[in-house]
């Protein structure tokens, strides 16, 4: 191995390659450069430790929000279900006291159950006021209610009108020979429907010359 030489002691026989090798060896063996390498190694180790700490907290930073979101998704429907149950119970409790009372069946009062009318005191005749001394007792007002008897039910509604003479004759003919009637109906259905020809409507023009001639003759 070539010994290290200072830059001041240069041999005239060394070429450019030897000068480059000496410079490289001097840089490699420099104690200052070794301290720089050690500091770089320590710095890289520290940086790797920081990165590990930083990435070590990343799973927790992701897991905690996800767990909180799942917990909220479970708790919110349960709370809504409880509130709906309480609301329905409250509505049922509030609606029960205000139920519509069922109408009582009206029974006309019998003569025995009617309230006793107060005894009419005999009053003096009021002749001056024009009031009759004899007053009739007020009649009890009875409410009109439909009878409990059911109305007669008809098999066909509305009630069909009675058949005319022509309809009665047609029914009698069908009863006598139903086969002929069925055959005639089948034949009429098998016949094709022919189109109806409607002649074109032609309107003749009004001859105004005759009206003009008659008008001139009248003048």
Q: Does the pLDDT of residue 48 top 60, yes or no?
A: yes
pLDDT digits 0-9 by tens, 22-35: 887 777 655 555 55
Task: Please tell me the least confidently modeled range out of 21-25, 116-120, 132-136, 215-219.
Answer: 116-120
Confidence band (pLDDT; 50, 70, 90) for 161? confident
CA distance 45 to 180: 116
Q: What is the arithmetic mean of pLDDT over 51-76? A: 79
- Parse the chain into domains and list their residue ranges: 16-93
Q: How many residues make up the chain in this entry? A: 219
Higher pLDDT, 46 or 98: 46
Q: Does the pLDDT of residue 217 top 50, yes or no?
A: yes
């Amino acid at each position: 191995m070539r010994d290290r030489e200072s830059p001041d002691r240069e041999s005239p026989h060394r070429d450019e390659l030897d000068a480059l090798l000496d410079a490289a060896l001097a840089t490699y063996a420099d104690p200052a450069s070794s301290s720089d390498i050690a500091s770089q190694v320590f710095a890289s180790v520290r940086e790797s430790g920081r990165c590990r700490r930083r990435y070590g907290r990343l799973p927790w930073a992701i897991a905690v929000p996800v767990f909180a979101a799942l917990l909220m998704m479970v708790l919110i429907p349960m709370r809504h279900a409880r509130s709906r149950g309480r609301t329905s119970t409250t509505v049922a409790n509030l609606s029960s006291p205000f139920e519509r009372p069922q109408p009582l069946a009206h029974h006309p009062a019998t003569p025995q159950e009617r309230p006793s009318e107060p005894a009419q005191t005999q009053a003096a005749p009021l002749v001056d006021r024009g009031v009759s001394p004899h007053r009739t007792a007020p009649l009890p007002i009875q409410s009109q209610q439909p009878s409990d008897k059911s109305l007669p039910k008809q098999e066909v509604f509305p009630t069909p009108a009675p058949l005319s003479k022509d309809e009665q004759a047609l029914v009698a003919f069908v009863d006598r020979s139903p086969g002929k009637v069925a055959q005639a109906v089948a034949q009429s259905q098998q016949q094709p429907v022919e189109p109806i020809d409607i002649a074109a409507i032609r309107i003749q023009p009004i001859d105004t010359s005759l009206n003009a001639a008659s008008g001139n003759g009248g003048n």
